[in-house]
Amino acid sequence: MNTEERQLAEMLHQVTPEPPRRVTVEDVASRLASEAGQGRGEYREPRPRRGFPGFSGWNRGWAPVLAAVSVFAVAGASAGIAVAVTSHHSDVTSPGGGTPASSASAPASFTPSAPSSTAPSSAGAPLRIAGGMWGAELINRQSFAQDSLISSGKWLFALTDGLLVRIDPATGETASVALPGGRLPGPPVVVGNTVWVASSDANNVVLRGFGVLSLARVGSVSVPAIGPLSSAAQRVLAAGPDGHLYLAAGDTVAVVDPASRDLVRRFYLTAGPASSVAVSPDGRRVYVGTVPSTPSGSFRLLIFDPATGRERGSSTMTVGGAGNLVATSGGVWGTAGSGMSEWVWFAPGGDLARSFRVGQGAGGGLESVPSFSGGAVWVGGTHQLLCASPATGRVLASTAIPADHGTVEYFGSVTVLSSGRTYALYQDQAAHLSGVASLTPPAGC
């Protein structure tokens, strides 16, 4: 290259800068070490940098630290790269399946209008139980009232120790809100985005509504009872397809519009106080159970027309402890007896004269109560877990519930989410273990 070519090349280099060079971890470490070195010689106060107030306040005491940081910066960055490469292809699954824990979206934050608390929860990795019967896995290790598990489509709800508890079916984690007053028997009821719970207050029956997501109290309706409340109350609250709530209130059944908080009408009974209420899926029948105060009295099942409030028919059953009504397209379900002798019956068309037994019942003081969810009727207990046709009462599939070293295990209060996943309350008295279990029933259910 001659002299003129060399001068031309230097001129071009001055007006055309080199392409930007990628900054590496080593560059950062070198810069930190260089700044640390200044502290050992002629230290210059660094100029303040935008976005780091007080940067000019550094002093010579940081010089040794900067030197050490320069070493850890390289090691830490290298380790971080290794972790990223290793975890990039790993599969992360949240307990109970569903969305991976690393990508699940958290619920929106909220400020409850009433004090809420977090219920004790020992949720963790699912635990295989009952020999894996129907794929049974325990997702939550908390004790709940036996006949209280329901779903809102996405969430699970249950009752325990004066609390309404929301359970995340993916993780088993819980949140809860306190329930004032004396809770009446039966599970909560979901209407829209509100969970309703019935309780008693003096001679009134009180409905309290809580937001599905916030658990904040969003409504309260006090319904005066006419006559005394039933001493044999079982499942006193039901929701109809019209969105109304049907509530046993002494010698009447009160119909409440939860949207307006108005008392729409009452059904008046002459056979004693209402002990249990259910509404048919088409909304054309309201079933009401009454239990006389005398031990020798018979359980009476009444059928009302919800449009007029008039009684359309009645039938009786000569057995004690009847109640826990559940209405389906084919008729009405309920329970008879208690304790070791409790069992589930189905009455086609609501006629007790045609009723027949379904399931083997429960033992050990536990309940065998029907639930209607996911298009099937579920009957649990301590002997057998089954699903049945809501139209005919015919058992579609069943499995024996094993004992744990001679002590009964219990499944009940089965509910199905909109995703199709099935859950039940579980108890193992031998292992002192209880909570919510996930199930994988046969396709026939």
How would you classify residue 207: left for phi > 0, otherwise alpha for psi between -120 and 50, otherwise beta?
A: beta
Instruction: Tell me, rounded to whole angstroms, the distance of Cα 103 from its chain centroid.
Output: 20
**How does residue 338 score in pLDDT terms, banded at 50, 70 and 90?**
low
Amino acid 295: pLDDT: 54
Residue ranges covered by each domain of the chain: 24-45+61-84, 122-439
Give the integer Cα–Cα distance in Å for 393 and 333: 9
- Span 122-439 CATH architecture: 7 Propeller (2.130)
As given in the structure block, the two tokens for residue 399 are 């499995």
State pLDDT tens for residues 366-400.
889 999 999 999 999 999 999 999 999 999 999 99
Q: What is the pLDDT of residues 42-76, one digit of tens each?
A: 333 333 333 323 323 333 333 333 333 333 333 33
What the block records as the tokens of 322 is: 């009847």
Which residues, 6+ apart, have CB-to-CB distance to 209 below 8 Å?
194, 195, 196, 217, 218, 219, 220, 258
Q: Is 314:301 a contact under the CB 8 Å cutoff?
A: yes
Question: What pLDDT was estimated at residue 125?
Answer: 81
State residue 396 phi and psi, 5-degree precision. Answer: -95, -35
DSSP state, residue 221:
E
Question: With pLDDT > 70 as the criterion, what percentage of the chain qualifies?
Answer: 70
SS3 call for 388:
strand
